Amino acid sequence: MRTLIYVILIAIVLSISVTGCQTVTDVLGGKKPTASLEGLKFSDIDLKSATMLFDVKLNNPYDAALPLLNLDYDVQSGENQLFSGKADIQSTIPANESKTISLPVKLNYLDLARAFKNVRPGSKIPYKAVLGLKVDTPVLGSIRLPINKSDELQVPSIPKLNEINWQKLLQD
């Protein structure tokens, strides 16, 4: 009799542990936020640094806003790592909406010079981006949404002297 009770208890524990994840998914109605990288481009180039914009499309299936916490990134071209790091994000995706947002990452020229040492300005290079967007979900808590994309990146050309905003540069 005791053996039968142990077998029944073990069966109950195993069924709960096996279906535990499914239960959470059922509670959420199968809903989970998704993210995809729509583009990668340079922005705000000056004599000190450049800003890389990761255009990420997010889908928030929840009835509550979805706070974005941070973005980790690793961008490579062939076997060469171009840049990697982490950026804090202060943004929110409204409830039940999809939205494309530009997530900025500031890069200093020393990092860029190392990354693009054999690349001519204005050329295109292939890249592979591996990103993780951390979001704070209403039910699951903090989760990381993995994002992967391979494409080409336009390397910015060096600005001409008459294109430089000298007043802004002198204020910095």
85, two tokens: 């790091």
Does 2 share its domain with 77?
no
Domain that includes residue 152, residue range:
31-171
Are residues 141 and 163 located together in one domain of the fold? Answer: yes
For residues 25 and 41, membership in a common domain is answered with: no
Specify whether 20 is located in the same domain as 49.
Answer: no
Give the CATH number of the domain where residue 82 resides.
2.60.40.1820
Nearest residue to 30 (alpha-carbon basis) of 57, 58, 61:
61
Please tell me whether residues 90 and 6 are part of one structural domain.
Answer: no
Task: Judge if 147 and 97 occupy the same domain.
Answer: yes
118 and 130 co-located in one domain = yes
Within this chain, do residues 88 and 3 fall inside the same structural domain, yes or no?
no
Confidence check: pLDDT of 9 > 50: no
**What is the tens place of the pLDDT at every residue in 114-136?**
766 777 777 888 889 999 999 99
Cβ contact 155:124 at 8 Å: yes
Alpha-carbon dihedral of residues 97, 150, 48, 88, nearest 10 degrees?
A: 40
**Count of the separate structural domains present in the chain:** 2
143/64 Cα distance (integer angstroms): 16
Residues 19 and 96 occupy one common structural domain: no
pLDDT digits (tens, 9 = 90+) for 16-53: 444 444 434 434 456 889 999 998 888 887 777 888 89
Contact 101, 89 (CB under 8 A): no
| Count of CB atoms situated within 10 Å of the CB of 68 | 22
Cα atoms in the 13 Å half-sphere on the side-chain side of 9: 6
Q: What is the pTM of this model?
A: 0.66
Residues 66 and 26 in one domain: no
- Residue 69 shares a structural domain with residue 93: yes
pLDDT above 70 (res 76): yes
Compute the average pLDDT of residues 66-93: 88
Partners of 128 in the β-ladder = 76, 150
- Mean pLDDT, range 139-145, rounded to an integer: 87
79 with 127, same domain: the answer is yes
